[in-house]
Structure 1
Amino acid sequence: MLCCVNPDCQKPLNSDKNNYCHSCEAELIPLVGGRYRPTRVLSDEGGFGRTYLAEDVHKLNECCVVKQFAPKVQGTGPLTKAVELFKQEASRLQQLAEHPQIPTLLAYFEQNNYLFLVQEFIDGQNLLKEWEMRGSYNEREIRELLLDLLPVLKFIHVRGVIHRDIKPQNIIRRQSDRRLVLIDFGASKQLTVTVQTKIGTVIGSHGYTALEQMQDGKAYPASDLFSLGATCFHLLTGVRPSQLWIQQGYGWVASWQQYLNSPGKDGGSLSVELGEVLDKLLQLDIQKRYQSTDEVIADLTSQLPPLSSIPPTLLTPTFTATSANTKLALPKPNNKLKTQLILGTSLLVLGLGGGVWYFQTRPNAISEFSEPISQPVTSQKNVLESSYLTKSLKGHSSDVNSVAFSPDGKILGSASDDKTIKLWNLATKEEIRTLEGHSNWIWTIAFSPDSKILASGGADKTIKLWNVETGKLIRTLKGHTDGVTSVAFSPDSKILASGSASKDRKIKLWDLETGKLIRTLEGHTNGVQSVVFSPDGKTLASGSWDKTIKLWNLKTGNLIRTLNGNGGSVLSVAFAPDGKTLASGNNDKTIKLWNLETGKLIHTLKGHNDKVNSVVFLPSTTLNNLTLISGSSDKTIKMWNPLTGEKIRTLETGSGYIYAVAISPDGQTIAGGGSGENILKIWQVTH
C-alpha cells in the first residue's frame, strides 16, 4: 500500500497501482525524497503535517519514520521563515540523535512545498500501550524508568533543548535491548506554533504539561521534569493526568497520592522516599520543583536503597566527548580479562552520526570482556587501560555505504549516497581529494593491491576506475543492467570482479589492463550483494539475496559449490587469511562460518539485534590469532573468536546504522561506514 502525503486527505491509504489518491485526488508521490516510500500514517498533526511509517528502498526496504511539516502560511516571507526554522530544527535533531536513546535523524529535505524529516524507526511499544496491556507499574519499575530516562533529559538540556511533550506515548521501550527511547521532539509542532498567528498556542499535552508552559508557552528543564513526574504518576496509578486536568485543572497535583489505592485502580503502595521525589517533580511552582536532572538522580541514588540490577543507562561510565580529542574513562578490568582485539595503538574509524559520540560501558558488555578466551592470542597491553581520542572527518552529506583502506595503509576511501568518493590521509586526518563522476548513489569501492587504482560501483549501473594519485578517471566499465553492489580486485591486480543487484543478478570479471569483459558468471536467482577473492586468487565467493553463497573457479568460470543454509539474504562474505574459512553476514541477524574444504557450516554466531551488513577478518599469520569483525544495523560493531564462536567485545557506536567495515593491512585500524550525520569518526587507542 502507498500513503497519500496530502496532510488534509481523509483516507490516505492507496493501492500501489494508483497514480492519484482515491480520496483527495492528489497526485501520489511513490518515493518521498527519491527513496522513502510512505506506507502508513502513524500520527496526524491536524492538517499541519503527518508522521508516516515508510520504507527506505535504497536500504532493502528498511523501516523508517517520515515526519511531514506542511506550513499553512500566506506569502513567501512566512514560508521562507518556516523553511529556515525547519532547517534549524533538523540540525538540532541531528545533534540530539547522537544519543543512543534518541532516534537517528537520517535526512531532511523540502519537496512539493512540504518539509520532511526522516528518522530511525524504533521497533518497540510506547509506554502507553505497554501500560494498557500489562497494568500499572510498581515502585521498582518507576525507579528504573527514571534512572533510564533522566540521563537522556540531561543530554538534551545541556544542549539547550527542551522536549516539551514528555508523556507515555512519546517513550518507546526498544524491543532489542529494552532501553527506553525518547521520541517526538515536536519539530513540526514548534514550527507550526512559530509560523501561526494564533495566540495562546502551546506545545504539550494537557495534564502532562507544566503550568508555566501552559500559561505563557515558556519551557525550562524543570518543565520537562514536571512532565516526567506526571508520566510516572500515570504509569504508577493507572490514572490519566489528561482526564484529571479536564475535571479539575491542576487541582489533582497537590493530592496525587490519594490515587495510589483509589477504588477501581490498581496502583500500589509507595515508599516515603520515592513519594518525596515525585512530590518535588510535580510541584506547580517551578521554583519549588527540581531544577535539573542531576538533582533528581542524586535523590534517587542517595535516599533510596540501591536496586540490585540498575538498567544500563548513561549513569554507567560513558564517553562524553564534546569535541575531538576527548578521553574515555573505562572501568578497570578484572585480572581474568584477556583480549583478542589486536588493536595495539590503533584507530577505529566509524561512518556514523557524529558530533558527540557515546561509547557506553554497559554491565553486560563488561561481563563479555571477563569471559576467558580459549585460544592463545598475541600478547597486548590491556585495551581497557587505554585512553581514547576521537576526531571527526567531515565531508560527506549523506550515508556512507562503503569504506576501504589502500593496501599501503596510507589512505582511507569512503563512498556515499552523495555521489562522491572521498580519500583521507590517515596520518593527518585530512581530506586529500573528492572524486566525482557517478550520477547516482555509490555503493562500493575497492583499492587495487598496488594502491594505485580505486574501483567504484553504484546505482548508476557503472564501474569507474580512478587514478588514486591524481584523482583522474581512468575509464568507465559498462555492462551491468542494474546497480553495481560490490567490486573486488584479484590479488595479482589482473582481474576486477563486480556483482549486481536483483534485476541483473550477475557477476562480471573484467580485464584491468584493457577494461574488457572476460566472462559473466550466472547462477544466483537474486541480487549479488558481495564478491570477494580468496587469498590465493583462485576462487571467487559471492553472497546473494537469494540466501546462498557460491564459490567459483576463476580459471574456468565454473561453479565449485553452493553453500546453503543461510537463514536470510547474504549481505557480506569474507575469506579468513588462510583461505580455508569463509564468514557470511546475513539479514537474519546472524554470522555463519563455513569450512570451504567440506562446504559445511562450522558456527552460527548470534548476538546482533539487526541485520549484519558487513564482516571482515583481522589480518593474521596464525590460526590462533583469528578475529572476526562485524558491523550491523543495530548500531554496533562486534568482535568474535571464529575458532570458538565466542563474542569477544561489543562496541556501542551510539547512533547510526553500520553498513560497511574494513581493516587496514596492519590490522590496527578499523573503518566503518553508516548512517546518521554521515561523519567518519576516528577512535585512537593510546597507552
Structure 2
Amino acid sequence: MKNKYPRLVFTLVAFTAIHAATHAGIFDSKNSVASEVASIHETNGIDSLDFSPDGSLLVAAKYYYSHSAQVWNWSQSRRVGPEFKHDNLSTLNANALHFSADGAKAMWCGNVVAIWNVTDGVEKYRQTEKRGENVCSAAVYAPNGDTVWMSQISYARRMHTLAAYDTTTWQLIWKLESPDFFPSAFSLSFDGNIAAIAGRFYSGEKDSHGGLISTQRLRVIDLLNRRQIRDFPTCPNEMSLPCGEIAALAWSADGKSLAVGFRGIPHDGSDAIQILDGATGEMLSREPGPKGTAVRGVRFTPDGKYLIVAGISKSVKIWDGEHTKLLQEILAEPASIAVSRDGHYLALGGEAFGLGNFSRLLGLLAPSKGKAIIYQLK
C-alpha cells in the first residue's frame, strides 16, 4: 500500500534535523566564537552546572524528580564517582553548585549546604539549621579555598546574612546582617575581594492598599574589610515603571561593572539585561526582551573577552566584553550556564528538548531527559 504521507514524514524529519543542527551550532557563521565539542546526557533536566578549577570536570545538578548531582569527565562523557543525593533543596538558589579550589570537593546550596568528595561521593559537611532559619541562597568558595561565602535568609527573623566560614573547621569567621532584605542573586568578583547581592528590600512603608512597599536593591560588600560599601536601586522608577525581578548577577573581569539579568519582565521592550557601573550604579548599557523573558544566566569570561547571556528570545547570546557587539547567537533554551575558570569553555544545561533534542515532536523519548552541551570558546 502506498504511503499517504511521504511528504509530511520527509518534512518532519528534515525540520527535526534542521532544528537540531541549528541548536548544535552547525549553522553558525564561520566567525563563531563558540564551537560544540562535547555533550553529556542525564536522566532528568539539568538545573545547575559548574566546571572544576582546571576545567576537566563538570558537575550537573538535577533539582526536580531526582534531587541529585553527578560529576562528569565531560570530554570523555564519563561519570566520575557516584551520584550525590542532597534531599534538602530549594529550587531558586543562585550559584547553587561550586567546586572547591582544589577540585576535590563539590558544594551544593539548597535549604542547607552540602559538600561531598568528587571521587567517592562521601559527604564531608552538611549545614545544620532549624527549619526556615538561614536558608542558603548562594554559596561559593573563595579563590584560595580557605573560606566559603554563604548568602543566607532567615524568613522567621526577616534577616539576610552574608556569612564567612572556615573550610577546615566550618566555624563561622564573621557575618554581616541586613534586616528586611531578601536576595535573589549573588556574584563574587573574580579576585574574590568583593561580592554583589541583589534582591528586594522592605522599608516598612505601606502603599494605599496596605501592602508593604519594596524596592529592588543592589548591594556591594567589601569582603576584605567586612563591610557594605555601596547600595543603589536597580529600578529607580519601579512604582510608575515596573521592572522584572532580578534573577542573575555577574561581575566583569576587571571588577568595574556588573551585568544584571531579569525574569518576568512586564512589557515588550523592558530591560532583560542591564550593565551597571559597579561604583555608581549608573547604567552603561541595556538589552530589552519580550514580555515574560526570564534570563537564566549571565557570565563574563575571566579574560574579559565575552559576556554570555542566556534566556532572551529562546537563545544564548555571546557579546564582546563591553556588551557593544553581538558575536554569536545559539538557539537554545538552557536552564543553566557555566564558564570554565580559564574562559576556554562554555556549558549549557537543561532539558534535552531545549538543547536540540526534538523528542517531544516525535514522541520517541521522555521530554524531561537532561543534556549539557560544552562549547570551546576562541
The code of the aligned residue for 2:62 comes to: S
Partner of 1:531: 186
The code of the aligned residue for 1:467 comes to: N
Given candidates 581, 591, 601, the residue that maps to 2:273 is: 591
Change (3 A) 1:317 1:680: closer
Partner of 1:681: 372
Q: 1:497, 1:531 within 8 Å by CA — same for their partners in 2?
A: no
Q: Does 1:395 align with 2:50?
A: no
Partner of 1:463: 113
CA–CA distance in structure 2, aligned partners of residues 629 and 431 of structure 1:
27
Superposition map of 1:82-481 within 5 A: 291-294=5-8, 318-320=18-20, 329-330=26-27, 339=32, 341=33, 343=34, 347=37, 391=39, 393-397=40-44, 399-417=45-63, 418-441=66-89, 443=93, 444-458=96-110, 461-479=111-129, 481=133
| RMSD value, Cα | 3.4
CA–CA distance in structure 2, aligned partners of residues 686 and 577 of structure 1:
16
CA–CA distance in structure 2, aligned partners of residues 437 and 412 of structure 1:
17
Q: Does 1:669 align with 2:342?
A: no
Aligned-residue identity in percent: 21
SS of match in other structure, 1:582? strand
Q: Does 1:572 align with 2:248?
A: yes
SS of match in other structure, 1:434? strand
Change (3 A) 1:555 1:470: same
Partner of 2:287: 605
1:447-493 deviations in Å (ceiling 9; x for gaps): 122212221111xx211122223322111123472642321111221
Change (3 A) 1:545 1:645: farther
Q: 2:25, 2:330 within 8 Å by CA — same for their partners in 1?
A: no
Q: Displacement of 1:584 after TM fit?
A: 1.5
Query: Where does structure 1 lack aligned partners over 5 or more consecutive residues?
Result: 1-285, 298-313, 348-389
Change (3 A) 1:291 1:319: closer
Change (3 A) 1:685 1:614: closer
1:384-430 deviations in Å (ceiling 9; x for gaps): xxxxxx64x23343x42210000111110011212211000123111
Partner of 1:497: 149
1:545-569 deviations in Å (ceiling 9; x for gaps): 5522210121343211113124332
Q: Displacement of 1:543 after TM fit?
A: 2.2
Partner of 2:209: none
CA–CA distance in structure 2, aligned partners of residues 509 and 478 of structure 1:
15
CA–CA distance in structure 1, aligned partners of residues 28 and 312 of structure 2:
27
Q: Displacement of 1:295 after TM fit?
A: 9.3
Change (3 A) 1:604 1:291: same
CA–CA distance in structure 2, aligned partners of residues 327 and 641 of structure 1:
21
Change (3 A) 1:486 1:633: farther
Given candidates 524, 548, 551, the residue that maps to 2:217 is: 548
Change (3 A) 1:602 1:437: same
CA–CA distance in structure 1, aligned partners of residues 272 and 113 of structure 2:
30
Query: Where does structure 2 lack aligned partners over 5 or more consecutive residues?
Result: 202-215, 236-242, 266-270, 352-366
CA–CA distance in structure 1, aligned partners of residues 82 and 29 of structure 2:
42
Q: TM-score, normalised by structure 2?
A: 0.73
Partner of 1:561: 230
Q: Displacement of 1:640 after TM fit?
A: 1.9
CA–CA distance in structure 2, aligned partners of residues 464 and 439 of structure 1:
10
Q: Displacement of 1:644 after TM fit?
A: 4.5
CA–CA distance in structure 2, aligned partners of residues 453 and 683 of structure 1:
21
Q: 2:71, 2:79 within 8 Å by CA — same for their partners in 1?
A: yes
Q: Which has the higher contact order (CA 8 A, sep 6+)?
A: 2
Q: Displacement of 1:502 after TM fit?
A: 7.6
Q: Displacement of 1:612 after TM fit?
A: 0.8
SS of match in other structure, 1:535? coil
Q: Displacement of 1:660 after TM fit?
A: 2.0
Q: Displacement of 1:296 after TM fit?
A: 10
Change (3 A) 1:644 1:424: closer
Paired residue total: 321
Partner of 1:614: 297
Change (3 A) 1:509 1:535: same
Q: Does 1:507 align with 2:162?
A: yes
Q: 2:337, 2:348 within 8 Å by CA — same for their partners in 1?
A: yes
Structure number with bigger Rg:
1
1:17-68 deviations in Å (ceiling 9; x for gaps): xxxxxxxxxxxxxxxxxxxxxxxxxxxxxxxxxxxxxxxxxxxxxxxxxxxx
The code of the aligned residue for 1:489 comes to: Y
CA–CA distance in structure 2, aligned partners of residues 331 and 555 of structure 1:
44
Structure with the larger strand share: 2
CA–CA distance in structure 2, aligned partners of residues 542 and 462 of structure 1:
19
Partner of 1:516: 171
SS of match in other structure, 1:478? coil
Q: TM-score, normalised by structure 1?
A: 0.42
Q: 2:348, 2:374 within 8 Å by CA — same for their partners in 1?
A: no
Change (3 A) 1:423 1:541: same
Change (3 A) 1:512 1:316: closer
SS of match in other structure, 2:335? strand
SS of match in other structure, 1:412? strand
1:93-139 deviations in Å (ceiling 9; x for gaps): xxxxxxxxxxxxxxxxxxxxxxxxxxxxxxxxxxxxxxxxxxxxxxx
Q: Displacement of 1:526 after TM fit?
A: 4.6
Q: 1:491, 1:533 within 8 Å by CA — same for their partners in 2?
A: no
CA–CA distance in structure 2, aligned partners of residues 686 and 646 of structure 1:
16
CA–CA distance in structure 1, aligned partners of residues 15 and 298 of structure 2:
32
SS of match in other structure, 2:42? coil
CA–CA distance in structure 1, aligned partners of residues 52 and 7 of structure 2:
47
The code of the aligned residue for 1:647 comes to: L
